[in-house]
């Protein structure tokens, strides 16, 4: 699915493979290896879609600064509701493919990100899923050479438990919508 997006945007793609629940050290080592390679290929900046999470922004900036790569945050501190309005006005089509069961039910899987969804989201859910409430997949956009034809598959449930003595908020379950080309 990621390959299809990159192909339709005419962009090169370098994937970084991680275990399902990587330690911070494993994550940092994989990122350092990939970023070193990208920097050698001329990459000078990395863009992120983060909007509000200060600690994540600082973490990304610190990690990239060590590699001499600039972190760019084009959506930083923008209003989530306005971003959904803009997304819809530009013709970008995205659908929910993962929900955190602490925030949303599996009935939100497959829903299009649009103004109708905004009206139905609970008050404790950010319209862009900025706090990990849900994740999306963009399957059509004006900058794609063509839409990505997707088929909705089965719903899969996974429960993520924190490591021993870890009080991580991600001690929760997630529902995933299997989507295929």
Residue 146 has pLDDT above 90, yes or no: yes
CA neighbours closer than 13 Å in the CB half-sphere of residue 104: 28
Question: CB–CB of 171/158 below 8 Å?
Answer: no
Task: Name the 3-class secondary structure at 11.
Answer: coil
**What confidence score (pLDDT) does residue 166 get?**
58
For residue 73, what are its two tokens?
């945050």
Task: Name the 3-class secondary structure at 137.
Answer: strand
Residue 102 burial by CB count (10 A; 0-12/13-18/19+): exposed, middle or buried?
A: middle
**What confidence score (pLDDT) does residue 163 get?**
60
> Which residues, listed in sequence order, are joined to residue 160 by a DSSP beta bridge?
172
Question: pLDDT of 148-179, one tens digit each?
Answer: 999 999 999 999 776 665 555 557 899 999 99
Question: pLDDT of 65-121, one tens digit each?
Answer: 999 999 999 999 999 999 999 999 999 999 999 999 999 999 999 999 999 999 999
86/81 Cα distance (integer angstroms): 9
Task: Name the 3-class secondary structure at 72.
Answer: strand
């Amino acid at each position: 699915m990621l390959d299809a997006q990159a192909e339709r945007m005419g962009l090169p793609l370098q994937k970084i493979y991680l275990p399902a629940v990587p330690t911070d050290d494993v994550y940092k080592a994989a990122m350092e290896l990939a970023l070193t390679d990208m920097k050698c290929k001329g990459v000078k900046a990395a863009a992120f879609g983060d909007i509000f999470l200060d600690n994540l922004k600082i973490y990304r900036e610190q990690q990239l600064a060590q590699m001499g790569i600039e972190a760019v945050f084009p959506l930083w501190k923008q209003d989530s509701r306005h971003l959904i309005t803009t997304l819809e006005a530009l013709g970008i089509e995205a659908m929910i493919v993962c929900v955190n069961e602490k925030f949303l039910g599996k009935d939100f899987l497959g829903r299009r990100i649009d103004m109708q969804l905004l009206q139905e989201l609970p008050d404790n859910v950010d319209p862009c899923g900025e706090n990990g409430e849900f994740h999306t997949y963009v399957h059509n956009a004006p900058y794609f050479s063509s839409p990505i034809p997707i088929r909705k598959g089965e719903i899969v449930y996974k429960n993520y438990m924190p490591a021993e003595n870890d009080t991580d908020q991600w001690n929760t379950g997630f529902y995933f919508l299997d989507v295929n080309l």
